[in-house]
Chains A and B, each alone.
Chain A
Amino acid sequence: MMKWLKKCYLALVLIFLYVPIIVLIVQSFNAGKSRAKWEGFSLRWYIELFQDERTLQALFVTLSIAVLAMIVSTVLGTLAAIGIHAMKKRPQALMMTLTNLPNTMPDIVTGISLMLLFIFTKVERGYVTMLLAHITFDTPYVILSVLPKLKQMNRHTYEAALDLGATPMYALFHVIIPQCKQGIITGAMLAFTLSLDDFTISYFTTSPLVQNLSTLIYSSARKGIDPSLNALSALMFVALLVLLLIVNRRTAEDK
């Protein structure tokens, strides 16, 4: 009986989580415009989606920002992690608090504060400010995924490399980074995923002229939902699902 109840509970949770998404995906293949009636299978909305200039533009913004933010935050985060790891206990604890703080902060606070910063410094909001914002919220996640790898490392391996004739730079690239490669890749993918699905912070740090997918969907939704957005959301869901599965699998393997 208990067992049965447990299973029911799990099923309910999953249903409430995933039914809306399934409905969305099914609807994206609906031939008609109505959301209430199934008018047959069609790829119409997908075709329309890829013919819409604005959507394609937004897709480009989303992907290019995700890639750039991933690259920059991975480099910054990895170097920061190595620096933090080398610190003495007290400054290290301080730096870790500073690293964790943005992660616990609501997105809306981060978004508004970045917006205020850009207004205050008179930087015109647009592509660059959105990119900077994404780098900002991605970097702590990279630090947090690289740091455990550094902690697992035998700290004498760096000294061993110097001992064998390596310059500090050579040791960094041939001994330290290869040993935390797993953490760096996981961090990069996490950064990419986070950047891809961010709405709140993007919304506050860009101008109406530069839209990524999430801000575009938000602004179109107010005018009434174009069914091609169902297709777009379905695609984003699948892409993120694949990425998350890869990230999860990597972290599971690490353990």
Chain B
Amino acid sequence: MTPEQLSERIALARTKDHLIDLIGITKEFDGTPVLRGIDLYIRKKEFVTLLGPSGCGKTTTLRIIGGFETATEGALLFEGQDIAALPPYKRRVNTVFQKYALFPHLNVYDNIAFGLKLKKLPKKVIDEKVEQMLELVNLKGYARRHVEALSGGQQQRVAIARSLVNEPEVLLLDEPLGALDLKLRKEMQLELKNMQQRLGITFIYVTHDQEEALTMSDTIVVMKDGTIQQIGDPKSIYDEPANAFVADFIGESNILRGTMVQDELVRFAGANFPCVDFGFGENAPVDVVIRPEDIMLVGEDVGQIVGTIKSVLFKGVHYEMMIDAGEYTFKVHSTTMQPQGSKVGLNIVPFNIHIMKPMEEVASNEI
């Protein structure tokens, strides 16, 4: 991006009602690119999740917003002001770190009061605010405890309280629930979401857990190799993945190579399927994505294609079956079990077939 283009885009961003703008952000560590041009805006009171596998640049993006890294190129705006040169202690954002980073030499009270003491508030006000925060995070009566004597979940709450007590405009959270067990994680997800809605604070949340992202976010930003793959609300990301990577990363998918015969008709696995997509041209190669729960098992004689059940796994709510059909093995979720080795028909309604432009490295579904 030329400097002219950049300043043009900064000027454009300033006309919008955005809280934070990342414009053409790149980052290199010792010559290795980590972010390759991130364009993202965040509105007030939004719950935005940066989602992606490890090494995709999500934490680096968060650290740039927090002020712990400087972007190699691009602009970072906060309410239209360029804050790239502002040190972390002058930014109106607070961070909840991975593994919490509580001050081990201070007790719960002093950890939470750290930021307030720096603002030189009177002791009475600090006491009140800390007390309120302890109540908010369900840790009433823990003020004098030593932080290292607390459980992981409790330390997590202290870390959140320590940030929230400063009433930041934006709270940055770097995989805050990563170290907790599954049950506690689910509870904390709901609690965090609840807190965010009650306090009306913007949350920018980093995770590699797609379920967490789908549960909590208003907006999900899917990242891979330092680029943004898709931005959207959880439902559209799940239902309309922009490419095979997103489809594969968000939930489980069958991703196949197919050919668009004509508008609203696609050919894969040796059969033609009516679909709802159009505009790809005739006989164009495409990627076809089908969610495992969208494949219906029917009688052999009425299926659009016929397959043989290779394996059956009980998954609690449903059965997961691998079915050989033509040149592909389909993953199918169904609440009714079919015995291994039996032949079944597979039907897919047009609405559930997602067509997308082929990616260079398509995750094939050979298992």
Contacts and interface: CB of A to CB of B under 8 A. Distances in A.
Contacts of A170: 118
Contact of A163 (B94, B99, B104): B94
B89 A159 contact: no
B194 to A, nearest CB: 23
A165 B67 CA distance: 12
A156 B99 contact: yes
Contact of A164 (B68, B87, B94, B104): B94
A181 B105 CA distance: 10
Given A159-B68, A159-B88, A160-B95, A165 B101 contact: no
Contacts of B119: 165
Contacts of A178: 103, 105
Interface in A160-199: 160-167, 170, 175, 178-179, 181
B162 A159 contact: no
Nearest to B165: A164
A164 B166 contact: yes
Contacts of A166: 89, 114, 118
A156 B98 contact: yes
Interface residues of A, number: 17
Contact of B101 (A156, A167, A181): A156
Given A162-B87, A163-B66, A154 B101 contact: yes
Contacts of A164: 89, 94, 114-115, 118, 162-163, 166
Contacts of B166: 164-165
Contacts of A248: none
Nearest to A165: B118
B280 interface: no
Contacts of A161: 103, 114
Interface string A132-175: 00000000000000000000001011011111111100100001
Contact of A175 (B67, B89, B94, B103): B103
Contacts, number: 63
A179 to B, nearest CB: 6
B97 interface: yes
B105 A159 contact: no
A46 B311 CA distance: 93
A157 B98 contact: no
Contacts of A163: 66-67, 88-89, 93-95, 163
A162 B163 CA distance: 12
Q: How large is the interface on B (under 10, 10 to 19, 20 to 34, 35 or more residues)?
A: 20 to 34
Contacts of A160: 95, 97, 101-103, 162
A57 B68 CA distance: 54
A170 B114 CA distance: 11
Contacts of A156: 97-99, 101
Nearest to B168: A163
B119 to A, nearest CB: 7
A137 to B, nearest CB: 30
A220 B119 CA distance: 62
Contacts of A162: 67-68, 87-89
B105 to A, nearest CB: 4
Contacts of A154: 99, 101, 104
Specify which of A154, A164, A166, A181 lies most central, judged by the most chain B CB atoms within 10 Å of its CB. Answer: A164
A162 B115 CA distance: 9
Specify which of A159, A165, A166 lies most central, judged by the most chain B CB atoms within 10 Å of its CB. Answer: A165
A48 B257 CA distance: 101
Specify which of B89, B104, B119, B162 lies most central, judged by the most chain A CB atoms within 10 Å of its CB. Answer: B89
A167 B68 CA distance: 13
A159 B101 contact: yes
A89 B103 CA distance: 26
Interface string B232-267: 000000000000000000000000000000000000
B101 A157 contact: yes
Nearest to B118: A165
Interface in B199-230: none
A110 to B, nearest CB: 36
A163 B89 CA distance: 5
Contacts of B93: 163
Nearest to A180: B105
A69 to B, nearest CB: 28
Contacts of A181: 105
Interface in B162-207: 162-163, 166
A239 to B, nearest CB: 31
B316 to A, nearest CB: 37
A175 B98 CA distance: 18
Contact of B105 (A165, A167, A179): A179
B308 to A, nearest CB: 53
A162 B93 CA distance: 11
A178 B103 CA distance: 10
Contacts of A175: 103
Given A159-B97, A170-B118, 14 more contacts: A156-B98, A157-B101, A157-B104, A159-B68, A159-B95, A162-B67, A163-B93, A163-B94, A163-B95, A163-B163, A164-B163, A165-B89, A178-B105, A179-B104
12 contacts: A154-B99, A157-B103, A159-B68, A159-B88, A159-B101, A160-B101, A160-B103, A162-B87, A163-B67, A163-B95, A166-B89, A166-B114
CB-CB nearest 6 A-B residue pairs: A156-B101, A164-B115, A162-B88, A160-B101, A165-B118, A178-B105
Interface of A: 154, 156-157, 159-167, 170, 175, 178-179, 181
